[in-house]
């Protein structure tokens, strides 16, 4: 019987092997300050904890959506499928890695230390043996992760299942922060983002992360075929290697993409909008009393600029939509001789949905000149 099964298996091995990978869509951002902009989802699950897909499907989803990096971060303490699915805590990473190597993207080994609040859930990335994290005392789990050189961040700090009243920074979190264990924090997870977590992160200089925490299937949960995306951590990195990714996370070189929003430190968002929206003179539409510029979106993300009181005073009164990969002409009327005599005119717009603080959107200066 065994032998017969093996024979059939060989006979049928073509079934899976023949399948081509699906198409990888373009999901590009121009370099920022000389760094590549890598797209990462650092919090995902598979059937090996409480997820609903095989680890290699996580890689396929990421490949197709245009991501560069994922982490598979199974719950150490919660494995409801265990009666059906074997394998220790390192198994799902091994399966995913095989597929990732083939596709040419990166998978980071990780685990989710999963406890009730406090301290809640934390991801430990770049670990070397997930099995050693399965210990009764959660503090010991953090110590072990750190011994393995992990980068650790607090997951969904505003998750209402654990903090129904409001997101609170508790003594345990302060302790994890003071001891250097907590280096980052999710400001976006699944379908929510947490303004208070952004505030905490900016005050304490934590790395900003945004991840899907996906349990089901990405293309079912998010309308990727319609241009939407899961929550994504943008990593500003010199190259796409595990060492450099780890370094970039430690150096706080990240921003977060969430539901069309870009959330990050002003020092990164300011150069990022400049590399995203290229602004150039457009002489054919310019006249003596009008300067026209062409704004070109060099990325695969839609951008919208909003007028400010300063721009309205100069006559730029409507929102300017610049969809991904498109161009827009924007004109400034020169109302009088004084204006015509000036060599250039700077107009301040705000970038819709690009947040540098809880209630602050990014400002972009457009300089009109011939």
Q: Among residue numbers 220 through 239, which ones bind a second copy (CB under 8 A)?
A: 220-221, 223, 225-226
Residue 101 lies near a second copy (rule: CB under 8 A): yes
Which region among 111-119, 139-147, 229-237, 241-249 touches a second copy (by CB under 8 A)?
A: 111-119
Count of chain residues binding a second copy (CB under 8 A): 91
Q: Read off φ and ψ for residue 212, nearest 5 degrees.
A: -85, -30
Rounded to a whole number of angstroms, the minimum distance from the CB of residue 245 to a second copy is: 17
CA atoms within 13 A on the CB side of 58: 36
Distances (CA, A) of 23 to 89, 216, 240: 31, 20, 21
With left for phi above 0 and alpha for psi between -120 and 50, is residue 164 left, alpha or beta? Answer: alpha
Residue 241 lies near a second copy (rule: CB under 8 A): no
Within 184-203, the residues that bind a second copy by CB under 8 A are 191
Within 128-167, the residues that bind a second copy by CB under 8 A are 136, 159-161, 164-165
Nearest to 249 by CA among 152, 354, 355, 113: 152
Rounded to a whole number of angstroms, the minimum distance from the CB of residue 71 to a second copy is: 19
Nearest to 65 by CA among 186, 226, 189: 226
Whole-number Å distance between alpha carbons of 314 and 335: 9
Judged by beta carbon, residue 57 or residue 185, the one nearer a second copy is: 57
Whole-number Å distance between alpha carbons of 207 and 236: 12
Task: Give the per-residue contact string, 18-57, with a second copy (x = CB under 8 A; - = no).
Answer: xxxxxxxxx--------------------x--xxxxx-xx
Which residue in the set 80, 174, 342, 369 belongs to the binding site for a second copy (CB under 8 A)? 80
Residue 60 lies near a second copy (rule: CB under 8 A): yes
Residue 359 lies near a second copy (rule: CB under 8 A): no
Burial class (CB in 10 A: 0-12, 13-18, 19+), 362: buried
Residue 86 lies near a second copy (rule: CB under 8 A): yes
Rounded to a whole number of angstroms, the minimum distance from the CB of residue 261 to a second copy is: 15
Task: Give the per-residue contact string, 273-292, with a second copy (x = CB under 8 A; - = no).
Answer: ---------x-xx------x
Chain centroid to Cα 219, Å, comes to 16
Whole-number Å distance between alpha carbons of 15 and 324: 38
Residue 87 lies near a second copy (rule: CB under 8 A): yes
Judged by beta carbon, residue 31 or residue 101, the one nearer a second copy is: 101
Q: Which residues contact 342 (CB under 8 A, 6 or more apart)?
A: none
Judged by beta carbon, residue 130 or residue 206, the one nearer a second copy is: 130
User: If you compute the radius of gyration of the chain from its CA atoms, what whole number of angstroms results?
Assistant: 24
Which region among 168-176, 249-257, 314-322, 353-361 touches a second copy (by CB under 8 A)?
A: 314-322
Whole-number Å distance between alpha carbons of 209 and 186: 4
Which region among 147-155, 180-188, 199-207, 213-221 touches a second copy (by CB under 8 A)?
A: 213-221
Q: Find out whether 328 and 285 touch, Cβ atoms under 8 Å.
A: no
Residue 341 lies near a second copy (rule: CB under 8 A): no
Chain centroid to Cα 147, Å, comes to 27
Rounded to a whole number of angstroms, the minimum distance from the CB of residue 241 to a second copy is: 14
Residue 183 lies near a second copy (rule: CB under 8 A): no
Task: Reply yes or no: is the peptide bond before residue 183 cis, omega within 30 of 0.
Answer: no
Rounded to a whole number of angstroms, the minimum distance from the CB of residue 182 to a second copy is: 21
Judged by beta carbon, residue 5 or residue 344, the one nearer a second copy is: 5
Residue 333 lies near a second copy (rule: CB under 8 A): yes
């Amino acid at each position: 019987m065994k032998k017969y099964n093996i024979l059939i298996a060989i006979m049928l091995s073509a079934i899976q092997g023949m399948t081509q990978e699906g198409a990888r869509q373009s999901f590009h951002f121009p370099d920022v300050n000389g760094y590549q902009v890598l797209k990462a989802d650092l919090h995902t699950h598979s059937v090996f904890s409480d997820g609903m897909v095989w680890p290699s499907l996580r890689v396929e989803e990421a490949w197709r959506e245009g991501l560069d990096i994922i982490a598979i971060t199974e719950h150490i303490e919660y494995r409801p499928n265990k009666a059906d699915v074997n394998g220790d805590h390192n198994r799902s990473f091994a399966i995913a890695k095989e597929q990732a190597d083939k596709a040419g993207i990166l998978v980071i080994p990780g685990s989710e230390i999963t406890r009730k609040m406090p301290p809640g859930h934390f991801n430990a990335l770049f670990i070397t043996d997930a099995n050693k994290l399965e210990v009764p005392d959660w503090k010991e789990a953090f110590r072990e992760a750190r011994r393995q050189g992990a980068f650790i961040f607090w997951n969904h700090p505003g998750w209402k299942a654990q903090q129904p009243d409001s997101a609170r920074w508790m003594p345990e979190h302060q302790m994890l922060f003071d001891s250097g264990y907590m280096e980052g924090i999710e400001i976006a997870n699944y379908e929510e983002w947490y303004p208070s977590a952004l505030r905490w992160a900016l005050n304490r200089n934590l790395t900003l992360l945004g991840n899907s925490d996906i349990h089901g299937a990405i293309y079912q949960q998010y309308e990727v075929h319609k241009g939407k995306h899961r929550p994504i951590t943008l990593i500003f990195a010199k190259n796409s290697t595990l060492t450099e990714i780890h370094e970039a996370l430690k150096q706080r070189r990240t921003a977060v993409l969430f539901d069309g929003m870009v959330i990050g430190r002003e020092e990164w968002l300011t150069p990022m909008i400049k590399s995203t929206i290229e602004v150039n003179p457009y002489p054919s539409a310019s006249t003596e009393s009008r300067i026209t510029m062409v704004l070109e979106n060099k990325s695969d993300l839609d951008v919208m600029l909003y007028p400010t009181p300063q721009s309205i005073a100069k006559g730029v009164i409507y929102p300017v939509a610049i969809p991904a990969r498109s161009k827009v002409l924007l004109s400034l009327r020169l109302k009088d001789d004084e204006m015509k005599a000036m060599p250039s005119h700077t107009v301040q717009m705000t970038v819709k949905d690009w947040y540098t603080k809880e209630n602050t959107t990014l400002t972009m200066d457009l300089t009109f000149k011939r």
